[in-house]
Structure 1
Amino acid sequence: MTTIKTDTVKRQLDPITFEVLRRSFEYTCERMSLVLQKASFSPIIYDMVDYSNAIFDPDVNLIGQTANCPVHIAAMHFSARASLKRYPIEELGPDDVIILNDPYDGGTHTPDVTMTMPVFYDGILLGFAVSRAHWTDVGGGFDTHIAGEGLRLPPLMLYKEGKPNTELIEIIKNSTRTPQYIEGDIQAQLGALRAARDEFMRLADKYGTDVLRQGMREVLDYTQEMTKEAINRIPDGEYEASDYIDSDGFTDNPVQLRVKITVAGDRIGVDFTGSDPIAIGPINSPYANTASAVYYSLKFFLNPEAPANAGMYRQIDLTIPENTWLNPHWPSPTLGCTTVASSKITAAIWMALAKAIPERIVAPTCSDANWYVASAADPATGDLHIFTDLPAGGWGGTPTHDGMHVTMDPLGNCQNLPAEIAELLFPIRYNSFEMRTDSAGAGRYRGGVGVHVEVEFLGRGEMIWMECSRTRKGSPGVNGGLHSAQQRQLRKTRQGELETIGGLADDGTWHPQMLGGIQFQPGESFVFESTGGGGWGDPLSRDPELVAQDVREEIVSRAQASNLYGVVLTDDLKLDQVATRAKRTEARNKQ
C-alpha cells in the first residue's frame, strides 16, 4: 500500500480520529447505496446498480463516495452547485431536497436524476448529501435536439420542509413510459439522502462540528498529497492519443476525440483541443460529464488507494474547448454522453498514458456500455413494457494478467439485467447469453471476451434507443497488443435469418450503429455481439500453453491461435511444440 509522509499534510487531528472520520465518510455513502438499492422500484437500479451516492463538504467538495458509477461521481458536484445557485443555502432548510437532470445544468444524460439535500446540525451546515440514479425512462429517445430526449428538469424543489411537491411528481409521472416506478424511486433516493443525514448527525454528536469539518479538510489534503506523489512518478512530458465514435447516428462519419496529456512535476494537464465540433446526433458530452470521465480515467493510475475525493481534482488542469462535442451547448443532444462518450475519453487517456508508463498501463476495454432501451408488448393484453440492458464486453489486457471477461466499462460498476428477472417482468425471452469466441484482442496478455446475446420479443417490440461503437474496428491494444473484434447489432427473423442493422455486415456493408425506432415483429429477436478488450504486448510472446488452454475453453479459435499467436495444435487440441516454434520463428522474421 502506498503511504505518504505525515508531515506533508497539515494535521490537527490525531491519526486515529482522522482515520475513523475518513472511513466514516466512505461508510456513509455505502449506507446510502444500500438503502437506495433495497428500496428502489426500477430494475436498472436494484438489479443493474446504475446509481451513485456521495457526500460533500459545505463548499461542495466531494469527501466520500461509493464505487457505483464513476462517471456520475465527479459530475455530481456540478449538479449540487447548480442546485445551490438556484436555491442559495440561506433559503434552504434541513428537510429540503432539490431535483435536477438537465445535462446543461450539471447533469449527465437525462435519465440520470440527481437529488441534493443540505445537512444541518444545530443550524450549522455540515455538508450535502447527493444521490444520482438512472431512472428507467424519462420519455424521449433518439433525436437531434435535446428536447426530444425526454423530460429535462432544471433545479426544482422536490421536498420543502419534508413535504413532497406533489404537482412536480405528477408532471414527472406524466412524462415517462414507466410511471409505476417513479414514486418508489423518488422515495428510495430520499431514503439514501436521509441515511447520509443520520450518519452526519452521529459523527457531529460524537466529535462536534469543528472536528468533523476539520476531518473533511484533512482528508481532502491527504488525497491531494497522495495524488501529487503519484503524478511525480510519471515522467514529465507531453503524451497524445486519439479515439473516435463510429458515427453520431445521423452522419456516417466517425466523430474524433483528441487528447494531449501534459505531466509537469506534480501536476497533470488534459487538453482536448483538436477534437471534432458538436455532433448532430446524441453523443455530445456536457462539460460535467467530460470532466468526470477524465477524473475517473486518471484515478486508475493516480494512486487508486487514495481516498476517493476532490483532493485529486486539485492537481488536474482541464482544457475542454467550447463548441466541441466534448463541451457542447444547448440544444445539442446528449443521450449517449455517459455511455459512449465517456468510455472513449477513457480509452484515449489510457492510450496516451501508455506512452508515458507502458509498464503500468491497461489496454482499453470494450469502451462502451452498449446501453439500450426497448419496448415489448404483451402478446395477450397488448400492454406495453419498457426494459433496458447493458450487455458488457471485455476489459483490456494488463501488464501481468489477461483482461476480465464480460465486465462493465470503467464508467460504471453496473451489471447486466439478469435473464430470469427480465423474463419474469417483461414479455421477452433470452435465447442466448454466451461468451463470444475470438472477440478479445490478442496479446501477450489478451483482452477479456465479449458476449453474444439474443433477446426474443414475444409480442411486437421496438428498439427505442441503442448506443454502441467499436463497430468499424474493435478496441485497440497497447505495447504491441492487437485490436479486439468489432461489435455488431442484428435482427433475427422468425425463420432464423440474420440481418445486420448496425455495424459491419457479412457483405462488407457498414450500417450506422446508433439505433432508434427499429421495429420487431412477434417472434423476432434482437441479437448483439459485444467486443472484448484490447491486447497487451506482442501476441507471439504469449505462453503457448495458455493459448492452447484458451482454444480448449473456446475463448480463442484454432484459426486465430495459428494466425495471431503462431500456436499450432494437434487434432485433440494439444500443443504441437515443434510446429509452434517453427511458425513463431517465421512470424517474427516477417515482423
Structure 2
Amino acid sequence: MTTQDQITYDPVTFDIIQNALQAVADEMFVAQRKTSMSAIIYEVLDLSTSILDPNGEIAAVGAGIPAFIGVLDKAIHGILEKFPLDTIRPGDLYATNDPYYGGVTHLNDMVLAAPVFSEGRLIAWVSNIAHWNDVGGMVPGSMSSDATEIFQEGVRIPAVKLFEEGRENKAVFDILYVNTRLPDFLRGDLWAGIAGLRIGERRILELVKKYGTDTFEAAVTAFMEHGERRARAALKAMPKGTYTYEEEQDTGQIHKVALTITPDEFIVDLCDNPAQAGSSNSSREGTEIAAQLAFKSFTDQDAPGNGGFFRPLTVKTRPGTIFHVEEPGALGYYSEVEIRLFDLLLRAFAHHFPGVVPAGNFASICGTVVGGPHPETGRHYTIVEPQVGGWGAWQGNDGPSGQFSGFHGETFNCPAEVAEARYGLAVDQVALNAEPGGEGQWRGGKGIDVHYRVRADNNFLSLGYTRSRIPPWGVDGGLDGSTNYVEVIRTDGNRERYSFATNVEVNTGDVIRVVTANGGGFGDPAKRAPEDIARDIRDGYLTPERAREVYGYDA
C-alpha cells in the first residue's frame, strides 16, 4: 500500500484528477445515452451520472437533470444504511427506485450504483439514474394523479443487489421484466445503465493505477473542501436574518418558507406546509434537492456542486407533509412538488433580494404521457414527454423561449421526426406560444404550442402541469406571463382543457394540444424600445392588437 509520505499533494496533480473524474462522469453519461432504448433517455436526456466518494458524497457529475444528480448521493446513503460496509464487495451492483429506500423521486426513476475498490478498500461509487417509461402500476406510464398509495404506482425495488460479486441476481431481473408493459425497452435501458457503471469503474481504476490510491482519495477530499470553502465564503457575504415568503398554488393551497441566513448556516424551514395527499408529494430527500439547487443558484453558480458545497445548508421539514411524505404515500408527481418549491425559493429571493433572480418562468415539468396501440404494428407504446417553456426576463434581457426549467436542466425536447417514427402520433405543429403575457421593458420568453394528432383508437393521455392557474410573476412593473395547460381537440370540434388528468381516452383524429407558459416580464412595458416591439410583431411574438393595448404602439 502507498505510504503517507508517498502521497502526491501537488495541486496540479489534484486538479488533473478532479478534471479526469468530470470526464469519466461525462463518458458514463454518453455511454448510457447511446445504448438506451427509450427516447426519453437518448433524446430528452432524462438521466444523470455521478462519481461519489466512499461515504456517498458527490465528487463529480455528468450532464443531465440537476435534480437527478442530487438523488445519487442520497441513494448511496440509503444503500449504506441497508448494507453494512463489510458486506459490500467488488463486483456488487445495486438498484433502487423506491423513495422509501434511497430512490428519492418516484418509481419510474431507477438508480443503479456500484462500488469501486482498490487495494482492498472502497474508494468510490459510480452511479446513474434514468426515467423508465413504464414500471407497472395502475396505469400505463406508471404515473397517475389518482394514486393514493405507492403500491398503485408500480414495482418497488428497495435497494437490492442486481449483481453480487459479479454474479447476476436473475430473480431481480425477472421481477423487473415481468412488471412492465414495455419489457424490451426496460431491458435495453437497464443494461445501458449497467454498461455506464462498468465504464465508470474501469476509468477510475485507470486513474488510480496512474496516480496511486492514496493520492486519488486525497484529491477527492481536497475538492470537497474546496466546494465547502466556496459555499461558506458566499454565505459570509450575504445579509443575515430570517426571511419569510408564501405563495398560493393552483389548488388554492399556500406554500410557505422561512429562510434563515447566519454566518455559518443557510436554513430552509418548510415545516408549516400542507399535509401529504394524492400523488403530488415529495420525499424528504427530494425536498432537500430542490433546496440545494436554489441554494447553489443563489450563492455561487460557478463553484463545484459537490458534496462539500452543500455542507452549510440545513433543510427542515415536518413528516406527513407534501415536502416530507410518509409511507405508503404516493409520489408519481413528486416533480411538480419539488419544482414548486424550487420556484418558491427563487421567488422569495426575488422578493427579499431584488435584482438577484429573473422574473418567473413556466416552472413546471409539464409531464405528458400518451400511449396505446401503435397504428401500424398494434404493439403498445408509451411516450413520456416533459415540455419546454418560457423563462422570465431580467434587466437588460428578454427571457429565453422554449427552454426546460432550471430545475430540469440540460435536457432536450424530443424531435418531431423521432416522435413520429417511434410513437403512434403525428406532430402537426411545433410553434412558440402566441398567447399574451410577460410583456415588459424586457419581455418574458415564449412557451410552446405543440399539436400531437392521435393515429389510432383507444389511446390514453395522462398529465401533470402546475402553473396552470397562477402565471409566472413579473418583476418591477413587468406583466405576469401566461399559464400551462393541455387541450384535447376532438374530431367534432369540442375542446377539453386539463392540468392534471389520468387515462383520458383519445382516439383517431383527436389532437392533443400542449401549451406551456410565457415567462414573466421585467420593467415597465411603456419603456420597451419601439424597435423591439416591431421585432416582436414581425417574429410572431406579439399581435398588433396586443402591442396597442400594452405598449401603446401602433405600427
TM range (shorter): over 0.9
Partners of 1:129 and 1:414 in 2: how far apart?
21
Question: Cα distance, 1:480 vs. partner?
Answer: 3.2
Q: Do the aligned residues in 2 keep the contact of 1:234 with 1:356 (CA within 8 Å)?
A: no
- Aligned residue identity for 1:499: R
CA deviations 1:285-319 (Å, max 9, x no partner) are 11111111111122122211111201121111111
1:207 and 2:211 are equivalent in the alignment:
yes
Partners of 2:461 and 2:507 in 1: how far apart?
14
1:530 and 2:516 are equivalent in the alignment:
yes
Residue in 2 that maps onto 1:183: 187
Percent identity, please. Answer: 26
1:51 and 2:47 are equivalent in the alignment:
yes
2:172 to 168, 172, 180: 168
Question: Residues 419 and 498 from structure 1, CA distance in 2 versus in 1: closer, same or farther, beyond 3 angstroms?
Answer: farther
Partners of 1:479 and 1:124 in 2: how far apart?
57
1:265 and 2:251 are equivalent in the alignment:
no
1:449 and 2:446 are equivalent in the alignment:
yes
SS at match of 1:238: strand
SS at match of 1:416: coil
Question: Cα distance, 1:539 vs. partner?
Answer: 2.6
CA deviations 1:362-395 (Å, max 9, x no partner) are 2222110111222132335533211121221111
Q: Do the aligned residues in 1 keep the contact of 2:119 with 2:213 (CA within 8 Å)?
A: no
SS at match of 1:515: strand
Q: Do the aligned residues in 1 keep the contact of 2:284 with 2:324 (CA within 8 Å)?
A: yes
* TM-score scaled by length of structure 1: 0.88
For residues 453-492 of structure 1, what are the structure 2 equivalents within 5 Å? 453-492=450-489
1:121 and 2:118 are equivalent in the alignment:
yes
Q: Do the aligned residues in 1 keep the contact of 2:249 with 2:470 (CA within 8 Å)?
A: no
* TM-score scaled by length of structure 2: 0.93
Q: Do the aligned residues in 2 keep the contact of 1:276 with 1:324 (CA within 8 Å)?
A: yes
CA deviations 1:150-209 (Å, max 9, x no partner) are 111101111122222222112111111111112211111111111211221122112111
Q: Do the aligned residues in 2 keep the contact of 1:354 with 1:479 (CA within 8 Å)?
A: no
Residue in 2 that maps onto 1:550: 536
Partners of 1:175 and 1:402 in 2: how far apart?
47
Question: Cα distance, 1:553 vs. partner?
Answer: 1.0
Question: Residues 262 and 444 from structure 1, CA distance in 2 versus in 1: closer, same or farther, beyond 3 angstroms?
Answer: farther
Q: Do the aligned residues in 2 keep the contact of 1:49 with 1:68 (CA within 8 Å)?
A: yes
Runs of 4+ with deviation above 6 angstroms: none
Q: Do the aligned residues in 2 keep the contact of 1:375 with 1:464 (CA within 8 Å)?
A: yes
- Aligned residue identity for 1:346: F
RMSD of the alignment, in Å?
Answer: 1.8
Partners of 1:268 and 1:256 in 2: how far apart?
23
- Aligned residue identity for 2:502: G
Residue in 2 that maps onto 1:277: 275
1:216 to 214, 220, 235: 220
CA deviations 1:111-158 (Å, max 9, x no partner) are 110011000012121111111111111122311221111111101111
1:326 and 2:323 are equivalent in the alignment:
yes
Question: Residues 361 and 520 from structure 1, CA distance in 2 versus in 1: closer, same or farther, beyond 3 angstroms?
Answer: same
Question: Residues 561 and 230 from structure 1, CA distance in 2 versus in 1: closer, same or farther, beyond 3 angstroms?
Answer: farther
1:291 and 2:288 are equivalent in the alignment:
yes
SS at match of 1:466: strand
Q: Do the aligned residues in 1 keep the contact of 2:322 with 2:337 (CA within 8 Å)?
A: no
Partners of 1:380 and 1:59 in 2: how far apart?
50
1:394 and 2:412 are equivalent in the alignment:
no
Q: Do the aligned residues in 2 keep the contact of 1:440 with 1:450 (CA within 8 Å)?
A: no
SS at match of 1:54: strand
- Aligned residue identity for 2:389: G
Question: Cα distance, 1:15 vs. partner?
Answer: 2.5
2:421 to 404, 420, 424: 424
Partners of 1:245 and 1:376 in 2: how far apart?
32
Structure 1's unaligned 5+ residue stretches are 1-10, 248-253, 503-512, 571-591
Partners of 1:315 and 1:537 in 2: how far apart?
34
SS at match of 2:199: helix
Question: Cα distance, 1:439 vs. partner?
Answer: 5.1
Q: Do the aligned residues in 2 keep the contact of 1:473 with 1:483 (CA within 8 Å)?
A: no
Q: Do the aligned residues in 2 keep the contact of 1:488 with 1:500 (CA within 8 Å)?
A: no
The range that moved more, 439-448 or 281-290, is: 439-448
Question: Cα distance, 1:26 vs. partner?
Answer: 1.3
- Aligned residue identity for 1:276: P
Residue in 2 that maps onto 1:516: 502
Question: Cα distance, 1:12 vs. partner?
Answer: 8.1
Residue in 1 that maps onto 2:229: 225
